[in-house]
């Protein structure tokens, strides 16, 4: 039997990359999906794929930076399913002008808002369901940049992702008594559309050596399927061909 039969999973940033792969992996285990992102079209395409494989998927488009819109998604989940077992808090973004020389207040708000404040908004919507159930799994896509500071990601992104990791640990500290588990996943480079926002373009050859979205989707599925007494607090996952290390090794 599929391990997530009867479970309800909400994935943000579901229309592409890691979120899309996680949605497919969770649906493959029998979870019913709520798919959120700003663009409706990729969410509808994904929902159609899940339904074609006899799964259940609802599309709830929203800007995760809009707390009221996220609260409305929570209300829709309550109406449609009456429960929420898994939150994949995955939506995130970066900007091209990320170095201190070019960082603007608008850029700072964009990056902190989309990666950190938004993650908090989704958690505040998910926790009441999970407290009532005395059970729930939160999985946050943080980053390698949420564990180590590196100029490549930019100050706002690395600060926001460190915040996501701290947020996840704080959930475990407070909510473990309610049977709630929180996992911060810290991926190195993954070949997804977010790389198109890099100041230095990434070659097809480099993308092929990176983690692929399905690698992260499979990890998220694994964490979501663990028995209730097991909490994976944090996972650092990178490509074997870790370009940061490769550059260091090339110095001889
Ligand atoms: N790829 C990497 O190397 C890497 C490494 C470490 C961590 N991450 C993190 O992994 C997560 C997923 O990114 P990805 O790599 O899969 O890239 P991606 O394909 O660009 O996915 C990001 C998703 O987030 C959604 N999103 C962005 N801003 C949003 C907003 N304000 N409201 C709602 N949805 C929003 C986007 O959909 P819409 O544009 O339709 O809203 C998109 O589907 C992000 O948190 C990212 O920071 C990525």
| Ligand 1 atom 23, closest CA | 13
- Tens digit of pLDDT for each residue in 73-106? 999 999 999 999 999 999 999 999 999 999 999 9
**8 Cβ closer than 6 Å to some ligand 1 atom:** no
pTM of the model: 0.98
Q: Which domains does the chain have, with CATH numbers?
A: 8-249 (3.40.50.720)
The span from the CA of 225 to the CA of 2, in Å, is 10
Q: Give the ligand 1 atom nearest the CA of 211.
A: 3
**146 Cβ closer than 6 Å to some ligand 1 atom:** no
Neighbouring CB atoms inside 10 A of 32's CB total 22
- Tens digit of pLDDT for each residue in 20-62? 999 999 999 999 999 999 999 999 999 999 999 999 999 999 9
**198 Cβ closer than 6 Å to some ligand 1 atom:** no
| Ligand 1 atom 47, closest CA | 92
The span from the CA of 2 to the CA of 89, in Å, is 23
**Tokens (6 digits) for 216:** 């992260």
- Tens digit of pLDDT for each residue in 125-179? 999 999 999 999 999 999 999 999 988 999 999 999 999 999 999 999 999 999 9
- Tens digit of pLDDT for each residue in 105-139? 999 999 999 999 999 999 999 999 999 999 999 99
């Amino acid at each position: 039997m599929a391990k997530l039969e009867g479970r309800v999973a909400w994935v943000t940033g579901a229309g592409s990359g890691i979120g899309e792969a996680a949605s497919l992996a969770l649906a493959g285990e029998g979870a019913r999906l709520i798919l959120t992102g700003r663009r409706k079209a990729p969410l509808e395409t994904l929902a159609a794929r899940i339904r074609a494989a006899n799964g259940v998927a609802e599309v709830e488009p929203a800007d995760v930076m809009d707390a009221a819109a996220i609260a409305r998604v929570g209300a829709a989940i309550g109406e449609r399913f009456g429960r929420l077992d898994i939150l994949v808090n995955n939506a995130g973004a970066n900007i091209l002008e990320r170095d201190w020389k070019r960082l603007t207040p608008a850029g700072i708000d964009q990056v902190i808002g989309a990666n950190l404040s938004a993650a908090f908004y989704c958690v505040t919507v998910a926790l009441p369901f999970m407290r009532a159930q005395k059970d729930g799994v939160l999985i946050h896509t943080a980053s390698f940049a949420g564990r180590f500071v590196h100029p490549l990601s930019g100050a706002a992104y690395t600060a926001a992702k460190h915040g996501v990791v701290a947020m996840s640990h704080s959930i475990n500290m407070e909510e473990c008594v309610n049977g709630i588990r929180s996992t911060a996943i810290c991926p190195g480079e993954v070949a997804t559309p977010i790389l198109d926002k890099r100041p230095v373009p990434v070659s097809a050859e480099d993308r092929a050596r990176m983690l692929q979205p399905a690698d992260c989707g499979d990890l998220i599925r694994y964490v979501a399927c663990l028995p209730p007494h097991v909490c994976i607090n944090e996972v650092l996952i990178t490509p074997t061909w870790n370009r940061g290390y490769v550059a260091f090794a090339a110095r001889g």
